[in-house]
Each structure stands twice: as structure tokens, then as C-alpha cells.
């Protein structure tokens, strides 16, 4: 009788413990021991892409080993993993980067280690005929209970072009009547909003990158930026030098972009920007943000031999944004001339600290998309 009571008590404790386990990933936080920082875009491989549902963006480590930590506010009993292994943008690029071949899981509860697995073998990603990546489903031999799970990559399938291991997505599952139930992320909306802002920043960067490829003195092409009264021809050369031609519009001149107003002599005379009409020097892109775009620092000597530092912000503009409405106001009926399928709409703004009376804004739409180069970028292993 005494043993029966003890058994029932233990069963009751186990049932209570399971009742306290969550059925979703509450307040998920993801950290990694290593994340690839590529180009000037530090968030190109953000770990939150692993749960975003966007399989066109992936997490990559810097190197072939790393640990992914998933932390939640309420414990779960982990029984299943579903992973899209590697950089699964397409079957063409999947083998360029390493993929996980062995993974070790460790669980923690309240900051203390609660369990672990031996190395779990994971096969390479395969694709359906439609081109969709097929997730790998993994059943753990023994469930792990915890509010934090470390996924340690201990070995990889080597890549053909890179040593940086990548993962496209990870899902955590519990057992529900002997079947996997993959858990939703309670704060997924906030995560997606964060990633959207990162995608905007990346968009600014790639527009800036294309501007550099398009506008340089070697090709004799410039990024032509205009507003109501004046235009700029901006050349960004591959050696880090620039040339900026600045000129007011005359009554008999028409800019490449035809605005409803083309001349305002009084405004031009008040504008110290045209104390000199052009400058050459060196440039740097200091930082990138979703709100401001790419910060350009232009360093040059003015006509009196004084060193100058000017700061400008460059953004890529989309049709659903306020800056596009500003562009339409300037353009009037000519807005139909802008081909959004083939060309970037770029916005260039001076920083008031440059010494001008006010911030000056210019628009350009002569820098083309390069679909071929964009595809090559997407297909090149990071």
C-alpha cells in the first residue's frame, strides 16, 4: 500500500509538471556564438531569420562551428526538431556553404543544465521539383525539458565555395499523442517587424552598392540627382575617390528629370553650396540605418585650400513610402517617366551641419537595377 501511494504521488507530480509546460515559444530570444558580418551590413545573416518563415534570408556563422541558443520565458518538453539545413535559397546554391552534419543539444532550466543529447546526424537539404526546400525532421531519443536550448554545431558537410556554415530555419516541437506539434513563436510579430527594418537598411545598402558600380569616371556615367533648382552629378570611383559636379539650372536648361519649376535665381544666390561648383576627394560610407539610409562622408579641399568634410544620406525609395509622395510633388505629371521595374529611385539629403542654410534634398532615377548582378550576388556564397 505504501509503495502504491508513492507511485501515485510520483505520477501526480509528473502530471503537474507537464501541465506547467508551455505549448508555444514564449518571448523567444535567439543568440549565437558567431554570426557572419559581411560587407558593411552587419545584420545580413541575423539569427532571427531562423524563425521568420522567410526562406530567402538565412543565418550564417563565421566559420564552420557555432552554437545557436534559443531562450524562452516558459519551459517546454522538446521532442522534435525541424530544420532546413544550409543556405537553402535554391538547389543551385545549397552546396556552396557548409551544412550541419552533426548537432548536439543541451537544455537548461532556470539557468541549470537539465539534459543533453549525443551528436545527432543531419543529412543535407534536398528540394522538391517545385524548388521548395524539404525540412529535415529529427526525433530525439529522450525528451529535453527546459527554457533554454543550445544547438551546438559539431561537424559539417563541407561547402564548395565557403567555410561559413548556414542554416535557413529551425522549429522546436513537442509530443502530442505520439505526433510532433511544432510550436508557434509568441513574439513572432515583433520579430518580423524588426527584420523588416533590417531589410530596409539592406535595401539602402544594395542601392548604394549599385550606384558605386554604375557611376564612376571610368565609365563616364554619373548618378544624376536633381531638385527644383539644381542638379548634382555624383561619381563614386572604385578606389574610394569621388567627383561631385554641382550646378544650378539655367532658364534655357532642362534637367534629365523635368520638374514643374526649373529656376529660382534668388534661392541659388543665397545658397553657399554654389560658392564652388564641383569637388573631388575621397569618400567613406560610415554607417547604415533603416531610417536615414547610408551615411556618406565626402572629404575634399575647397578652392581656398581648406579641408572640408560633408555628410550626406542616401536612401532607396519605394512607392508606398512618404518620400515617394515628395518625389511625385516635384515631378508632377512626369512621375510616369519613372520606371520602377528597371531603375532605383534614390534620395540624397545633405546634413545641415555641412554649413548650408538648410538640408537639401535631391532625387535620381537613372541608376538601373542590374538583375544579372543581383542574381549573381544572391548566388555567391557568403
Same domain, 302 and 167: no
Same domain, 182 and 288: no
In a domain, 197, yes or no: no
Same domain, 339 and 225: yes
What was the pLDDT predicted at 257?
39
**CA 303 – CA 277 distance, rounded (Å):** 10
**CA 166 – CA 49 distance, rounded (Å):** 11
Q: Is the pLDDT of residue 103 over 90?
A: yes
Exposed (0-12), middle (13-18) or buried (19+): which is 128, by Cβ within 10 Å? exposed
Same domain, 210 and 178: no
Query: Of 191, 167, 159, 178, whose CA–CA distance to 27 is shortest?
Result: 191
In angstroms, the Cα distances linking 300 to 78, 127, 202 are: 60, 53, 28
Q: Is 6 helix (H, G, I), strand (E, B) or coil?
A: helix
The mean predicted confidence, pLDDT, of the chain is: 83
Q: Is the pLDDT of residue 197 over 70?
A: yes
What was the pLDDT predicted at 267?
43
Query: Of 246, 249, 236, 322, whose CA–CA distance to 278 is shortest?
Result: 246
In a domain, 5, yes or no: no
**CA 58 – CA 50 distance, rounded (Å):** 7
> Which element (helix H / strand E) includes 378?
helix 371-379
Average pLDDT for residues 316-336, to the nearest whole number? 82
Average pLDDT for residues 257-272, to the nearest whole number? 41
**CA 24 – CA 87 distance, rounded (Å):** 26
**CA 235 – CA 216 distance, rounded (Å):** 5
Same domain, 229 and 140: no
In a domain, 327, yes or no: yes
Domain of 165, CATH number, reads 2.60.120.260
DSSP symbols for 295-344: EEEEEEE-TTS-EEEEEEEEEE--TTSHHHHHHHHHHGGGGGG--TTTB-
In a domain, 322, yes or no: yes
Lowest mean pLDDT among 21-35, 319-333, 349-363: 349-363
Q: Is the pLDDT of residue 303 over 80?
A: no
In a domain, 122, yes or no: yes
pTM of whole model > 0.95?
no
pLDDT: which is higher, 197 or 37: 197
Q: Is 3 helix (H, G, I), strand (E, B) or coil?
A: helix
pLDDT digits (tens, 9 = 90+) for 4-20: 444 444 444 444 445 57
Please count the structural domains in the chain.
Answer: 2
Same domain, 84 and 164: yes
What was the pLDDT predicted at 337?
74
Same domain, 157 and 224: no
In a domain, 12, yes or no: no
Domain of 61, in residue numbers: 17-186
Q: Which three cell numbers stand for residue 27?
A: 518571448
Same domain, 271 and 131: no
Amino acid at each position: 500500500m505504501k509503495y502504491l501511494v508513492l507511485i501515485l504521488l510520483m505520477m501526480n507530480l509528473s502530471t503537474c509538471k507537464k501541465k506547467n509546460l508551455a505549448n508555444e515559444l514564449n518571448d523567444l530570444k535567439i543568440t549565437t556564438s558567431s554570426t557572419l558580418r559581411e560587407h558593411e551590413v552587419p545584420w545580413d545573416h541575423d539569427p532571427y531569420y531562423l524563425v521568420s518563415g522567410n526562406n530567402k534570408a538565412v543565418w550564417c556563422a563565421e566559420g564552420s562551428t557555432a552554437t545557436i541558443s534559443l531562450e524562452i520565458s516558459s519551459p517546454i518538453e522538446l521532442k522534435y526538431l525541424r530544420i532546413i539545413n544550409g543556405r537553402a535559397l535554391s538547389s543551385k546554391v545549397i552546396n556552396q556553404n557548409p551544412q550541419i552534419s552533426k548537432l548536439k543539444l543541451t537544455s537548461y532550466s532556470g539557468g541549470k543544465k537539465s539534459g543533453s543529447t549525443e551528436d545527432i546526424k543531419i543529412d543535407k537539404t534536398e528540394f522538391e521539383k517545385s524548388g521548395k526546400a524539404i525540412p529535415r525532421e529529427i526525433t530525439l531519443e529522450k525528451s529535453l525539458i527546459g527554457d533554454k536550448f543550445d544547438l551546438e554545431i559539431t561537424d559539417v558537410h563541407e561547402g564548395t565555395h565557403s567555410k561559413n556554415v548556414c542554416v535557413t530555419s529551425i522549429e522546436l516541437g513537442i509530443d502530442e499523442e505520439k505526433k510532433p506539434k511544432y510550436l508557434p513563436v509568441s513574439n513572432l510579430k515583433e520579430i518580423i517587424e524588426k527584420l523588416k527594418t533590417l531589410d530596409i537598411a539592406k535595401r539602402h545598402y544594395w542601392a548604394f552598392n549599385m550606384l558605386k558600380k554604375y557611376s564612376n569616371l571610368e565609365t563616364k556615367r554619373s548618378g544624376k540627382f536633381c531638385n527644383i533648382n539644381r542638379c548634382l552629378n555624383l561619381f563614386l570611383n572604385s578606389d574610394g575617390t569621388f567627383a561631385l559636379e554641382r550646378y544650378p539650372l539655367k532658364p534655357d536648361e532642362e534637367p534629365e528629370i523635368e520638374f514643374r519649376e526649373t529656376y529660382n535665381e534668388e534661392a541659388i544666390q543665397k545658397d553657399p553650396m554654389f560658392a564652388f561648383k564641383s569637388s573631388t576627394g575621397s569618400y567613406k560610407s560610415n554607417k547604415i540605418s533603416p531610417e536615414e539610409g547610408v551615411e556618406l562622408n565626402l572629404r575634399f579641399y575647397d578652392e581656398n585650400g581648406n579641408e572640408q568634410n560633408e555628410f550626406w544620406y542616401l536612401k532607396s525609395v519605394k512607392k508606398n513610402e512618404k518620400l515617394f509622395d515628395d518625389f511625385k510633388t516635384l515631378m508632377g505629371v512626369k512621375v510616369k517617366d519613372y520606371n520602377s521595374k528597371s531603375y532605383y529611385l534614390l534620395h540624397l539629403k545633405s546634413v545641415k551641419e555641412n554649413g548650408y542654410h538648410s538640408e537639401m534634398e535631391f532625387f535620381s532615377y537613372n541608376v538601373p537595377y542590374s538583375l544579372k548582378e543581383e542574381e549573381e550576388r544572391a548566388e555567391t556564397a557568403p
